[in-house]
A and B are shown apart, each in its own frame.
Chain A
């Protein structure tokens, strides 16, 4: 190498690095020596060093280096051994996005765009949505502004990789001296090297997903203990207990009565309720009638642990309690061979205005929230009568339902000043809560047909609101990235759950009322402790925004549906995905577990209701883990509707499935 060239390189390097003094000195020295000989000693003979110097001195800003480096790495990865290929390809995506962001950050907008477009195809399949977000980033300031980009810049990606793949990668990087790629990989990827054979490619979903900075915190959080069991002394519990006690020991009736008394005493102590004698009487009756059913139930369902409620729960009136018990007694046992009946409520003439639908627990009330700020509540029991009357001829039997402006067979609730995004019925069906883009939540009474309370607290549109399984409390979630817990008697929230990195899109209560789950646009689902307001679980695995959530009745599992049509079953205690349920090809708007938790129903924008067998998926998991069986889909039935996207689903307590949706004209 020409010594003068070397001097030039060194000069350039020093200047670029801002070592101006050093550069000056060097210059002076050079002047003194006049192209002298004293510094031409070493590196003439050291090709390694010269190369290194050359690479440094090449203007570091040169945008083509990213392209070259990346494309070389890419072709190397694609040509690597099949066994290790998928692991190596996994590295490509973080490298790709960081190359792009580096380019943008250095102001090479044009090159960044060209680089992005030439390689985006590689990653579109898995990361389409992220790419769409990143595509808009064109100016360094955008990197700062955009949360997603910022969190990517700040965090490291965890990639599990086997020892050999790791060695291969390092070897390649050293051999080719692609320092740039090496730098990016060192800076942004955190390898979790394990010994042994590489994993099969599809196995590890969370390895592919790039999350923000919380991968480690997520791992940390998921270590926390949660009590996923059902509430002690729940109605199902009591039904079961009275049933089994009676059947077990007809002789020891006194004993069982004692137990009951104890039971109700405890209960009355806890919640301050008197007059248990009435209840006891009723319970005995209940027990006799359903001994058989209850016994079946106990044999099927493995007993879930019982926990104490952390919230003071409202007292149920005896009437309500009785009707619930009655329903539970008459519940149809569902399984993969005994399918439920599905009753479908179709909204017609909605003019594309129906934003949400909700069905009361007994299926008799249906509420629709509309984009014109209105809420309409139909009483299906009344409509049924009026409808049959009208069919025979012109009749005016439905006069009592007619509102002030003519024949109308629903209750119109006006009060919101923005599109209504969600509505929910209290368990007995006497209240409706609605959330709207006007940032408020409103409480309505279905008996008075009037607005009772307006809850202001969120700062942005409230996407979802859900009553707790026992009423009184409710949870809401909003564009302001928080979820909040409220009680009906206070206009201020009781708890604010903050932590999601993007909109919180849906919320659901755990059956024991101690936890709520929230699904977010940051593609995660979180579980929060209601009492402390802390996040206790983070579920990572979805590839797009989470739209719907459902909790299994035994409190052990959770299902979440996303924008792409994927449904994931999670084990709450381990925070792991049991199995992804693929089948829908569009947004899953609604999920519902059957009463005893054996079936999961899902309703989607692809105009189908699907039933999934979830008992087998939970039972077979262990066996599957052993032999790595890939056959995890357990779709039982698909019920196509006539171009009606399914907005809401609910299993009644008797296990009749209700579904609702708005008839929409098919495209074209």
Chain B
């Protein structure tokens, strides 16, 4: 009936020294106790409301007891959280841990730090109905035009003109923040803290006044610290975070930021130690560049064209180092397939001929050089491959060749995705042997060194077997491998039925067809993993 069980009453009675409480009395008391407790809580809630709070505290209950002319309950007013402990062996029984304290300990304990005194800070919550994006305000969903500076004006009407050229005043907090971030970026010793700093950079509102300082800082440090690989990486992370922050209005500072970023992409030398993995940095920066172009390409039309021009120049200059070429290729690749098709593929032939001697292990004695060359080769292969893959995906989906194939084909399309990823990241030591492996035997008979090759290996034989018949080009020595007669017949039959459709497609996409042919000429089989098998079958 009552939520206070009579056992509780009995326990309370015992605790205050009443031993002969009859059970009936306890039973009668229980509902009344509940009523009184509720009454006190109701008054306590009133006290809480008048203290303008939404959480009930022990002092509110004391206030309520006062209202009823009762003595407050002592010992809970400290404001600290009361720790309840579970009684062992009982599920719902709790007690407060009330230890005895030795006076000596209390007296000898050092005085606690004095609490900070109450203060008032003033800021603009809104200026003519618009909330300025300052740290004092809650972060906004969308950036409105940020007020250039905050004038802490006490009285009178709204600011008449906030866009007046005024001295840029940074609050102390912002200055500290900037210093801290700069230190973290430079120190490189505390990666976890740096990570948190990046998160803060990417999410905090009110950092806007610091943006010019950050761009300056980045530009300075990049030009100074080209030998310091980690620093550069950190700086690029900072740029990325700044770009990600939705509250920052970074556009006006892009022109300052871009040179440093591009430097990190196509500089001859990044970092001075052999162990420094500057390839990663270039990859990362390439993505960054792409991100910038994507976000601001619409407002700055010249941005992308200028960027690609720089990159293509870097790529086509034979005097430039291979590392620079690599960066340029990655940058272009990240900008999208159209850029690759227009700029890279058109220059592919001359460039590959340029690269040829470097690739040859016999001719190129310098181990390092040949490694770099393979790296560049891999990058350009990946770029071209992705481009053609994308290109081929535009084809209208055609009736699937045979009931057995579509499933296989689908599997292929999906499996090529991880392939690309892997290929891009894998070091060329891994790649070149397997490339050779494919080039030499091309069949799925040989065990593939990597698990990624498995699906492509499966796909290869039928494609190989029909290519000569469908395309006019001479096979580059990859003799059609007859796997079994049945399959061959199958594919031939398919080739005939497809003929009509193919002609049409050929006309439509002669371009891509030629492209593919060209790529194949240049790369041989290595391009094949990029080509989805369903599309591949079209060329049969």
Contact = CB atoms under 8 A, between A and B. Distances in A.
Nearest to A370: B118
A641 B138 contact: yes
A17 interface: no
Nearest to A664: B53
Contacts of B34: 136, 138
B492 interface: no
B79 interface: yes
A656 B35 contact: no
Interface residues of B, number: 54
B116 A349 contact: yes
B31 A656 contact: no
B2 A138 contact: yes
Interface string A630-668: 000000110111110101000010111001101000010
Contact of B118 (A135, A347, A521, A607): A347
B152 interface: yes
Given A109-B1, A138-B34, A437 B156 contact: no
A520 B79 CA distance: 29
A388 interface: yes
Interface in A131-188: 132-133, 135-139, 142
Contact of B125 (A354, A410, A659, A667): A659
B124 A342 contact: yes
A589 interface: yes
Contacts of B129: 338-341, 611, 636-637
Nearest to A407: B117
B154 A351 contact: no
Nearest to B42: A133
Interface stretch (A281-289, A377-385, A523-531, A614-622): A377-385
A206 to B, nearest CB: 23
B419 interface: no
A563 interface: yes
A547 interface: yes
A110 B155 contact: no
A371 B59 contact: yes
Interface in A338-356: 338-356
Nearest to B116: A349
Interface in B94-144: 115-131, 136-138
A330 interface: yes
A503 to B, nearest CB: 6
B138 A342 contact: no
A611 B57 CA distance: 31
Contacts of A113: 1-2
A352 B79 contact: yes
B22 interface: no
Given A109-B1, A330-B157, A332-B158, A639 B126 contact: yes
B117 A505 contact: no
Given A138-B31, A349-B115, A356-B52, A384 B157 contact: no
A640 B152 contact: no
A571 interface: no
Contacts of A645: 52, 54
Contacts of B79: 351-352
Given A341-B124, A344-B124, A346-B120, A586 B54 contact: yes
Nearest to A142: B35
A74 B52 CA distance: 40
Nearest to A662: B52
Interface stretch (B43-51, B239-247, B516-524): B43-51
Given A362-B155, A437-B63, A355 B117 contact: no
A332 B157 contact: yes
A538 interface: no
Nearest to B1: A110
B54 A384 contact: no
Interface string A366-382: 10101100001010110
Contacts of A125: none
A166 to B, nearest CB: 36
Given A356-B52, A384-B152, A479-B46, A349 B158 contact: no
Contacts of A409: 119
Contact of B124 (A343, A586, A587): A343
B125 A343 contact: yes
B319 interface: no
A592 to B, nearest CB: 14
Interface string B191-230: 0000000000000000000000000000000000000000
A503 B152 CA distance: 41
A642 B137 contact: yes
Q: Which interface residue of A113, A133, A135, A343 has the most chain B CB atoms within 10 A?
A: A343
B38 interface: yes
A415 B137 CA distance: 36
B157 A341 contact: yes
Interface residues of A, number: 88
A348 B35 contact: no
Contacts of A667: 55
Given A505-B49, A547-B49, A338 B38 contact: no
Contact of A503 (B46, B53, B130, B157): B46
Contact of A609 (B124, B125, B172): B125
B120 A347 contact: yes
Contacts of B159: 341
Residue from B38, B47, B51, B171 with most neighbouring chain A CB atoms (10 Å): B51
A391 interface: yes
B51 A371 contact: yes
Contacts of A611: 129
A380 B120 contact: yes
Contacts of A511: none
Contacts of B57: 352
Contact of A345 (B115, B120, B127): B120
A419 interface: yes
B119 A563 contact: no
Contacts of B127: 341
A136 B156 contact: no
Contact of A344 (B51, B116, B122, B171): B122
Contact of A639 (B35, B59, B125): B125
Nearest to A435: B50
A136 B122 CA distance: 46
A218 B218 CA distance: 72
Nearest to B28: A139
A364 B159 CA distance: 17
B66 A437 contact: yes
B122 A368 contact: no
Contacts of A368: 118
A362 B157 CA distance: 11
A611 B131 CA distance: 13
Most B C-beta atoms less than 10 A away, residue of A330, A338, A340, A505: A340
A463 interface: yes
Contact of B51 (A346, A363, A419, A639): A419
A137 B1 CA distance: 11
B125 A641 contact: yes
Q: Which 9 A-B pairs have the closest CB atoms?
A: A339-B129, A136-B38, A138-B31, A342-B125, A344-B125, A341-B158, A110-B1, A349-B116, A342-B126
Interface of B: 1-2, 31-32, 34-35, 37-39, 42, 46-47, 49-55, 57, 59, 63, 66-67, 79, 115-131, 136-138, 152, 154-159, 171-172
Interface of A: 109-110, 113, 132-133, 135-139, 142, 330, 332, 338-356, 362-364, 366, 368, 370-371, 376, 378, 380-381, 383-384, 387-388, 391, 408-410, 419, 421, 437, 460-461, 463, 479, 503, 505, 521, 545, 547, 563, 586-587, 589, 605, 607, 609, 611, 636-637, 639-643, 645, 647, 652, 654-656, 659-660, 662, 667
Given A113-B2, A545-B46, 11 more contacts: A142-B35, A339-B129, A345-B120, A350-B118, A353-B118, A364-B155, A368-B118, A505-B46, A505-B49, A563-B49, A609-B126
13 contacts: A110-B1, A137-B35, A342-B125, A346-B121, A347-B118, A348-B119, A352-B57, A366-B120, A371-B59, A437-B66, A545-B46, A611-B129, A639-B125
